[in-house]
Structure 1
């Protein structure tokens, strides 16, 4: 399988090149040259399969021509060492809990998968110099990537995060590890961090001295494995006879997770409708309404992992639909949830249904309520992180205490180690060159 750039200014790359490089030389995002269609027999049979079996089948459709099946199986089994259960919240609404991985966030699957795939390619190359992974985070990406890549031979990770704009527990998960993980505390917002990473990939001087790649969802090995979630969710809903007319609400920041769901749909997964659940950073909702994409500076919200004003994966969504606004709006609707609505939703879901979402899941649930479900429809919202990662917000809104899992307590005992960083590319470039 070859991977082309969404900017269409460079030749297609192999899977290995796309994973190792992260971003195409023309600053476009890599996309698979074809999206394989899975037959209906597989879709109908998933309810009898394990998560591992489903994921391996889906992964083989994309990566099977480029990796030995035994290696791909090992990567899948190592990546999916935990489940993603569907939990009933109301009679017609279910939560897909994606936070049962090592850092209690949905990004664990993509980060672990990419770490192992990149490690596979590095070992195959017998690379003489380290690969430097650059990742910008507005919250959970940094912790998932840092822990997924921890102690992987031949790889150094630099996590760029906006100063004062991630939760204390999230910050602990990537600033206390050390070893091959370095946290860079950028004096800016997430969009500044993402711009620094993108600029580094196309800087000739940096690339002459360092081998760089990204572990953000701009990397195909990070975002494509998130399609596993959607197939597994459908299989679970099919087991209980609720898979017909599924409406899936996806908390959306950089739009990698929603893009993976759209890929799954294109592969044949029969989801009826998707909702892009935004917080106040709602440039995609504005695009759905107007047909014009107008990125703008992000604003800080209670759902901080979604605080993105210029989502990278919008380019993939546009490419996937050939720029057809009508086709996009036919399958995807949007929603906006303010901080006040996040608090109210948290309180309502806990009081009325006894279920505790995190602020991002609250956006997903609120989006379902805003749209409403038609007779025969079932709603699934993606619960992307454990509520304990946003302890103050959830406890204040609900008036209920949230138990902190032992894995999070362990992170909180570590010593914070981070490097202060100005948001200028010159400062970032000088720092990276000093590490060469």
Structure 2
């Protein structure tokens, strides 16, 4: 079997191997790396008694075939996936919760960030020149990347986040690392942060001075491993019930949702996939038949999904090549802040279930879906509710217990550097640190 190759969504960059695609982050033409073709896997090929790292190793082996990282894949998966992603029933009919917040920073981003860090450490070796990892975050990505790369030799991290548009605990996490991980609070939106990162990655002169890569979901090293928990959950359901499992995924930048879609495309027993969005309506408008129209993000209670120009839409469109077919296969809906509040309150009072505002968008969409489908849905819980105490505690009238890993992080001092929302500002900051 020939080694898989990875190409740009924009079609103007040479095909490369997986290791090169992971190391680069962004393709030279500004596009995102995708497999030339997705592999096909038989659900029967997975160990029925395997844990999450075992499932991940089987799932990702075709993507890593013949790459220098292939022999290390089992070790990478074992190193990255040291915590569970349990699928548990909710106290209501036909609903399950896929809990993705049991990692060190209490958000689903821990899976991909730790996997990427394990790959880059092996790709670069101990004698490589310092590499700076850029990450734009709307709340959770930055902390996961900071935790995954903190203290690693020859790797530096710059976390850009929109000042005042993340929760206080998220902001504290982002600035709590120090050392080789620095936080920049940008006077703008997440989309400004994302644009600044892409501009730096596409600046060849800057790259010669300061070698750069990305740890956003534009990186295949983040995206591919996120398929693993969808594979593991759907396989467990399929073995018990003999039917595919449907998912509702809260989404902003589309990375987590795309991981679910790709897992289904390569043969995992996944049925319907729905995308729950907040008031940022770029995706719901497209899926309802409108043009794809990026716009400025608006702040909402589900702040990690405050994205007006989702990067992974390029990959999503590449996966179908035809917008009509894409619209037939997926659906996205907006959930406004009033509905988020009502959903949080109702589930806490009626079912004693406390979730984060992002998970609440998926629960609200589930309530609409179950009236017409009658199927079981897995609601994807993307972050621990304790990260959003300023939303939840006044609404529910009680404190939200903080998990130990998050409490440890919050106990550390935090510091972030203020930066204007301009491409040149990040380039100047990077140049001054070379």
TM-score (norm. length: structure 1) = 0.95
The answer to whether the 8 A contact 1:147-1:174 is kept is no
Instruction: Give 2:11's aligned residue.
Output: 8
CA distance in 1, matches of 2:334, 2:217: 22
The one-character-per-residue Cα deviations of 1:108-136 (angstroms, maximum 9, x if unpaired) are 00000000101110018x42x21110000
Within 5 A, what are the aligned runs for 1:46-65? 47-65=48-66
Q: Residues 326 and 372 from structure 1, CA distance in 2 versus in 1: closer, same or farther, beyond 3 angstroms? A: farther
The answer to whether the 8 A contact 2:238-2:245 is kept is no
The answer to whether the 8 A contact 1:244-1:377 is kept is no
CA distance in 2, matches of 1:119, 1:274: 34
Within 5 A, what are the aligned runs for 1:223-302? 223-241=223-241, 244-302=243-301
The answer to whether the 8 A contact 1:291-1:325 is kept is no
Give the superposition deviation at 1:237. 2.1
Instruction: Give 2:319's aligned residue.
Output: 320
Instruction: Give 1:130's aligned residue.
Output: 130
Instruction: Give 2:401's aligned residue.
Output: 403
CA distance in 2, matches of 1:40, 1:105: 27
CA distance in 1, matches of 2:43, 2:134: 39
Query: Is 2:210 aligned against 1:210?
Result: yes
Instruction: Give 1:142's aligned residue.
Output: 142
CA distance in 1, matches of 2:51, 2:134: 33
Query: Is 2:87 aligned against 1:86?
Result: yes
Give the superposition deviation at 1:284. 0.6
Give the superposition deviation at 1:427. 1.6
CA distance in 1, matches of 2:31, 2:71: 32
Give the superposition deviation at 1:69. 4.7
The answer to whether the 8 A contact 2:134-2:159 is kept is yes
Query: Is 2:30 aligned against 1:27?
Result: yes
The answer to whether the 8 A contact 2:173-2:414 is kept is no
Correspondent of 1:103 among 81, 102, 105: 105
CA distance in 1, matches of 2:43, 2:383: 32
3-state SS of 1:11 partner: coil
3-state SS of 1:369 partner: helix
The answer to whether the 8 A contact 2:104-2:406 is kept is no
Structure 1 unaligned residues grouped into runs of 5+ = none
3-state SS of 1:290 partner: coil
The one-character-per-residue Cα deviations of 1:352-379 (angstroms, maximum 9, x if unpaired) are 2221111011011111112235565110
Instruction: Give 1:304's aligned residue.
Output: 303
Instruction: Give 2:413's aligned residue.
Output: 415
Is the deviation greater in 365-374 or in 384-393?
365-374
CA distance in 2, matches of 1:57, 1:106: 21
CA distance in 2, matches of 1:291, 1:122: 44
RMSD over aligned CA atoms reads: 1.5
Is the deviation greater in 47-56 or in 26-35?
47-56
Q: Residues 375 and 320 from structure 1, CA distance in 2 versus in 1: closer, same or farther, beyond 3 angstroms? A: closer
Give the superposition deviation at 1:150. 0.8
Give the superposition deviation at 1:239. 4.8
Instruction: Give 1:66's aligned residue.
Output: 67
Instruction: Give 1:335's aligned residue.
Output: 333
The answer to whether the 8 A contact 1:247-1:380 is kept is yes
CA distance in 2, matches of 1:69, 1:15: 10
Give the superposition deviation at 1:16. 2.0
- How many equivalent residue pairs? 430
TM-score (norm. length: structure 2) = 0.96
CA distance in 1, matches of 2:426, 2:69: 38
